[in-house]
C-alpha cells in the first residue's frame, strides 16, 4: 500500500515511512492511494472475531511493509482486556468496545472509553505506541513527538508512550482550558520522557505551533520530530477498526445497515468512519455532532468552511471539541473534490492564510449526499438536559461530549432509515468532566478506584506563550540535555 498527499507531493511512501511523521512535505495529509474494498465474504468471516483479530485483518490492508506475524503480535499486545480494563459493570472487558444499548437493537452507545485514560483516544494511541517502538527498534532510531491536545489526545499519547525507549513526548495544551481531571492525568506523570507545555491560548494556537514546526523541514529532520495528533495517518487507520466492530455488535446480519453519530472537533474520529464507509462497511448515515464551536456543522449545512480565530472560539463544557480549525477535514475534502490535489492545495492556501472557502455553489458540494453525512450542534444547556434525560430514562451516566452526540443523534434520527440501529460513539467517561456532571445531576460521577485522588498528585508542566520559536527552544534544550 502506497500513500499520497492531499496536496499532490510526488513521493509515494509506504506506511512505516509516514508512521513517525505528521504532515507531508507539501503541508498536506497522507491518505492511501485508494481505499481497500471489503467484500461480503470478508464481512462474513470477520463477524465474531475478537477485537485484536479484527484489527489485524483491517490494518493488514493498510500496512503492507510490516511482516504479518509482527503486525499480528502488535495487535495482540495492544488490544487485551488488561489494557482496556475499565469496562463498566455488566460489560465484558474482553469485548474491548461493547455496545451499551439504551433501547435494545435501536439506539445505543459504542463504548470506546475503557482504556487507561478513559477516552476513545486510547483505542488508537495504544496501538501507535507499540508501532512506534517496533519501527524505531527496527531502524535503530529515536523520535521526539510534538503534539497538541484539547483534552484527551495528550493524556492518551503520554500513557501510550511513557517509558517507551527511543521516544520523547512534548505535548502542548491550552493553559487552564481543560478539566482538572484532564490536567491531572497529563501533568502528574513524572516519566523522564514526558514533557508538558501549557500554552496561554486556545487549542488552535497549540495546533498551529505543531503545524509550523512540522512545516520546518530542516528543524523537523534535525531533531527527529514526529506527530501523534490525528493528522497522523496511523491513528485514523486504527480508528477504522472500531467502526467495523461497532457494526458487528450493533447488527445481527451483514444484510443490515447501521448509523453512527460522532462528536467531532478535529474531524479525525468521523474521518475514520467515512473511510470505513468508503471501504464498503454498510453505514447508512454518519451524523456529525459539534458543540458551540460549530465550524463543521456550518460546512455540512451551507458548504462554507470558515475556521474561527482563537478569540472567536468558545470555551465550553465539552472542551475536547473546542476546536475551530479541523485538521482532518482536509482528508474528507480531498475525497469530496474527486481527489484533486491541486484543488485541495488551492482551498487550503486560503485556510492556512486565516481565510475560508465556499463550495456551496460547486458541483463538488452537490455530491455531498453521496457520502452519507448529516450534522447538528449542541449547547451547554443541551448537554445538561441530555445528561439528565439519559440518566433518568436509562440509568446511564454519560460525559459532556457523548451528551453532544446523543442530543444531535436525537435531533437527526429522522435522517436514519427505519429499522437501522443508531450508535453514538462514546468519547470519555463522565469522571473527566465532574464539574458539569455535578451541575447536571447533583452528584459525583463514578470514578475507577485506580484513579482516586489523581488531582492531588504533584504536577509537572511548563507554562509558555504561544510562540513557535520558544517551543522550538524548549525542545532543543531537552533533546540536547
Catalytic residues: 121
Half-sphere exposure of 298 (CA within 13 A, CB side): 17
- DSSP lists the bridge partners of residue 199 as 174, 464
365 contact partners, CB below 8 Å, separation of at least 6: 303, 336, 359
**Pairwise CA distance, residues 419 & 136, whole Å:** 48
Task: Extract the C-alpha cell encoding 22.
Answer: 505528521
Q: Is there a contact between 166 and 133 (Cβ–Cβ < 8 Å)?
A: yes
Please state the separation of Cα 256 from the chain's center in Å. 26
State the SS3 of 208-253: HHHHHHHCCHHHHHHCCEECCCCCCHHHHHHHHHHHHHHHHHHCCC
Pairing of strands 258-263, 357-358: unpaired
Residues 23, 465, 313, 413: what is their CA dihedral angle, to the nearest 10 degrees?
A: 50
Half-sphere exposure of 204 (CA within 13 A, CB side): 22
Q: Percentage helix, strand, coil, to 5, in the chain? A: 45, 15, 40
Q: Is there a contact between 123 and 97 (Cβ–Cβ < 8 Å)?
A: yes
Q: Which of 169, 46, 248, 267 is nearest to 478 (CA)?
A: 169
Q: ∠ CA(14), CA(18), CA(19), 5° rounding?
A: 110
Element housing 472 (H / E): helix 468-480
41 — alpha (psi -120 to 50), left (phi > 0) or beta? alpha
Amino acid at each position: 500500500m502506497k500513500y499520497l498527499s492531499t496536496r499532490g507531493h510526488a513521493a509515494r511512501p509506504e506506511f512505516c515511512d509516514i508512521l513517525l511523521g505528521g504532515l507531508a512535505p507539501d503541508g498536506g495529509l497522507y491518505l492511501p492511494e485508494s481505499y481497500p474494498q471489503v467484500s461480503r465474504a470478508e464481512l462474513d468471516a470477520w463477524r465474531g472475531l475478537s477485537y485484536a483479530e479484527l484489527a489485524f485483518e483491517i490494518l493488514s490492508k493498510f500496512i503492507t511493509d510490516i511482516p504479518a506475524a509482527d503486525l499480528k503480535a502488535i495487535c495482540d499486545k495492544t488490544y487485551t482486556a488488561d489494557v482496556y480494563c475499565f469496562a463498566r459493570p455488566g460489560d465484558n472487558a474482553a469485548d474491548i468496545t461493547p455496545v451499551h444499548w439504551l433501547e435494545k437493537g435501536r439506539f445505543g452507545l459504542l463504548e470506546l472509553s475503557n482504556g487507561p485514560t478513559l477516552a476513545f483516544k486510547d483505542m488508537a494511541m495504544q496501538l501507535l505506541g507499540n508501532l512506534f517502538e517496533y519501527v524505531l527498534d527496527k531502524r535503530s532510531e529515536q523520535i521526539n513527538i510534538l503534539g497538541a491536545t484539547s483534552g484527551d489526545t495528550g493524556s492518551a499519547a503520554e500513557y501510550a508512550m511513557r517509558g517507551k525507549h527511543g521516544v520523547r513526548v512534548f505535548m502542548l495544551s491550552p493553559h487552564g482550558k481543560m478539566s482538572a481531571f484532564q490536567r491531572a492525568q497529563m501533568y502528574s506523570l513524572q516519566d523522564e520522557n514526558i514533557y508538558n507545555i501549557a500554552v496561554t491560548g486556545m487549542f488552535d494556537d497549540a495546533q498551529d505551533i505543531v503545524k509550523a514546526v512540522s512545516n520546518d523541514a530542516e528543524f523537523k529532520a534535525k531533531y527527529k520530530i514526529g506527530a501523534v495528533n490525528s493528522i497522523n495517518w496511523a491513528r485514523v487507520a486504527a480508528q477504522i477498526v472500531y467502526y467495523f466492530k461497532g457494526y458487528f455488535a450493533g447488527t445481527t446480519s451483514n444484510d443490515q445497515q447501521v448509523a453512527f453519530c460522532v462528536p467531532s472537533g478535529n474531524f479525525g474520529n468521523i474521518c475514520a468512519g467515512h473511510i470505513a464507509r468508503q471501504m464498503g462497511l454498510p453505514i447508512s448515515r454518519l451524523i456529525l455532532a459539534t458543540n458551540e464551536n460549530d465550524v463543521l456543522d456550518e460546512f455540512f449545512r451551507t458548504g462554507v468552511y470558515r475556521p474561527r480565530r482563537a478569540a472567536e472560539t468558545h470555551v465550553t463544557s465539552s472542551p475536547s471539541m473546542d476546536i475551530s480549525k479541523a485538521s482532518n477535514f482536509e482528508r474528507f475534502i480531498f475525497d469530496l473534490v474527486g481527489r484533486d490535489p491541486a484543488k485541495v492545495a488551492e482551498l487550503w492556501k486560503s485556510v492556512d492564510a486565516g481565510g475560508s472557502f465556499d463550495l456551496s455553489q460547486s458541483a463538488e458540494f452537490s455530491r455531498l449526499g453521496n457520502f452519507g453525512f448529516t450534522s447538528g450542534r449542541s449547547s451547554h444547556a443541551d448537554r445538561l438536559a441530555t445528561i439528565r434525560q439519559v440518566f433518568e430514562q436509562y440509568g446511564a451516566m454519560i460525559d459532556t461530549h457523548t451528551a453532544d452526540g446523543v442530543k444531535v443523534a436525537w435531533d437527526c434520527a429522522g435522517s436514519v432509515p427505519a429499522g437501522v440501529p443508531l450508535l453514538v460513539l462514546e468519547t470519555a467517561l463522565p469522571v473527566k468532566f465532574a464539574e458539569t456532571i455535578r451541575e447536571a445531576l447533583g452528584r459525583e460521577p463514578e470514578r475507577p478506584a485506580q484513579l482516586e485522588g489523581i488531582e492531588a498528585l504533584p504536577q509537572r508542566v511548563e507554562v509558555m506563550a504561544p510562540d513557535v520559536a520558544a517551543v522550538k527552544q524548549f525542545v532543543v534544550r531537552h533533546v540536547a540535555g
